[in-house]
Structure 1
Amino acid sequence: MSTYEIGAFEALEWAWNVLRTEDTENKAKATTQIRDMLFKLGSGTQVDFKQSLA
């Protein structure tokens, strides 16, 4: 695993922890997006982080 992938995983883990502690309207949608991204990273799928999540 490259350093970049580890950094991305840690960033997603941080976002996950923020969502758990904050009450937001789009919490379910954001949680699903983060979970999906963690799955992609864990399965070795190439991810373009320059592309924004819609």
Structure 2
Amino acid sequence: MLFRRRTSSVPASQWRTRARVEQSGREHHLMIDAIEAGDAEHLKELVRQHILQS
């Protein structure tokens, strides 16, 4: 998918550790999967967790 080939939308310095940068990327991929699946509830939960960094 086109979205997955794009670079990061935020500077890596936003996160404190490299592990968090990588986790953020995985979260974005999960969000795209939820959008493609049409699963609005899962997407909503993923976004909530991503914002809260939980």
Larger RCO: Structure 1 or Structure 2 (Cα < 8 Å, ≥ 6 residues apart)? 1
| Number of residues of Structure 1 aligned to a counterpart in Structure 2 | 39
Match of 1:13 among 24, 28, 35: 28
Q: TM-score with structure 2 length normalisation?
A: 0.58
Q: What TM-score, normalized by structure 1, do the two folds share? A: 0.58
Q: Which runs of 5+ in 2 are unaligned?
A: 1-15
Q: Which runs of 4+ in 1 moved over 6 A?
A: none
* Identical columns (%): 3
Structure with more helix by fraction: 2
